[in-house]
Amino acid sequence: MLTYLLAENTEGNSWTSYIWIIVLLVLLVAFFVWSFLSQRKKQKAYAEQINAVKPGCKIKTIGGIVGEVVEVNDADNTFVLRTGDSEGNYSYMRFDKQAIYQTMDAPAEAKEEAPAAAKEETDAEPAEEAPVEEKEVSAEEEKKDEAQDK
- Percentage above 90 pLDDT, the chain: 37
- Give the integer Cα–Cα distance in Å for 150 and 145: 9
- Percentage above 70 pLDDT, the chain: 60
Q: What is the mean pLDDT of residues 89-98?
A: 91
What would the DSSP string read from start to end of 88-127?
S-EEEEEEEGGGEEEE-PPPHHHHHHHHHHHHHHHHH-GG
What pLDDT score does 6 carry? 54
What pLDDT score does 129 carry? 44
Does the pLDDT at position 128 exceed 60? no
What pLDDT score does 145 carry? 60
Average pLDDT over the chain, rounded to whole? 75
Percentage helix, strand, coil for the chain under 3-state DSSP, each rounded to 5? 60, 20, 20
pLDDT tens track for 8-41: 555 556 777 889 899 999 999 999 999 999 999 9
pLDDT tens track for 34-66: 999 999 999 999 899 888 889 999 999 999 999
Does the pLDDT at position 1 exceed 80? no
What pLDDT score does 66 carry? 92
H/E run at residue 135:
helix 129-149
Q: Would you place residue 132 in the very low, low, confident or very high pLDDT band (cuts 50, 70, 90)? A: very low
